[in-house]
Copies of this chain bind each other. A is one copy, B any other.
Amino acid sequence: MATKKTGKLIAASLGPGDPGLITREAWAVLNSHCQWLYPVKKTGAESFALDIVKRAGLDVPEDALALAFPMTHDIAILSKYWLEAAETVIEILKSGRDAVFLVEGDASTYSTFGHLARTVKALDETLETRVIAGVTSFAAAASCVNKPLTEADDTMAVIPAGYGVKVVERMLQDFDTLVLMKVKPIMEQLLDLLEQKQLLQSSYFIERAGTPDEKIVTDLQTLRHTRPHYLSLLVIHNPHREHGEIIRGCGKKK
């Protein structure tokens, strides 16, 4: 007996804002007549991810669906929304249609998609989910300022800035490049640290890379007493770091 085909849930990573950074595969899926799903902070709000594809010149299908994921860290609240979104997804997949979830940046890097995919799988483990990788905000930021993130033997750390300046300071011992996400809460203390460590010159700030509202700041002192956007990051290059020895080549067997 033929069983009805089940759709799969696909995350299309769109890159951080420049529609030129959408991959060919994400583009193909967006144009494949599958069900579009896009995240919003609350019902009726604008979707940053949807805005990227609009700026790419794609027409939003009439049946495209917004899924609400509120801006909170309260797991109980989030779980309720993930569950609701997962139930919507499952209904679509069971109807035999693929669903594409629009993701800003890369779906494997600080994205909501992992939670959604896990919730779908928890409700029905037979359903298939898939990620199309994309360009991260920090890779795009580096291209905007024309300065590599890492070269040769460099080390890089990507951390939410909220762990605090003491953590950032400690990491300067081990890392040539620090990417700080969500810098808003500790911006002033970070600027103090960078000034003290003489790293203001080699660091930069970027907000909404690749969008019409892009803001790149290389003179970091001008950021004092300002309020950065949520989608902003700080890249610290640390030229003073002393590299340890490095083992090259094939190495010896133990």
Contact = CB atoms under 8 A, between A and B. Distances in A.
Interface of A: 13, 15, 18-25, 27-28, 56, 73, 106-111, 113-115, 117, 129-136, 139-140, 142-143, 146-160, 162-164, 167, 170-171, 174-175, 184-189, 225, 227, 244-251, 253-254
A240 to B, nearest CB: 17
Contact of A160 (B19, B153, B157, B227): B153
Contacts of A136: 136, 139
Nearest to A135: B133
Given A114-B148, A133-B140, 17 more contacts: A20-B25, A21-B132, A24-B56, A73-B248, A106-B135, A109-B149, A110-B151, A113-B148, A133-B139, A135-B135, A155-B158, A157-B174, A163-B247, A167-B174, A167-B244, A186-B251, A227-B250
Contact of A164 (B142, B227, B247, B250): B247
Contacts of A56: 24
Given A114-B148, A143-B108, A250-B227, A24 B19 contact: yes
Contacts of A107: 143, 148
Contacts of A171: 174
The interface centre, meaning the residue of A107, A148, A170, A248 with most chain B CB atoms within 10 A of its CB, is: A148
Q: What number of copies of this chain does the assembly contain?
A: 2
A93 B135 CA distance: 28
A109 to B, nearest CB: 5
Contacts of A25: 18, 20-21
Contacts of A108: 139, 142-143, 147-150
Contacts of A154: 110, 160
B20 A24 contact: yes
A115 B151 contact: yes
A146 B159 contact: no
Nearest to A73: B248
A189 B254 contact: yes
Contacts of A130: 143, 146
Contact of A155 (B132, B133, B157): B157
A184 B250 contact: yes
A188 B254 contact: yes
A155 to B, nearest CB: 4
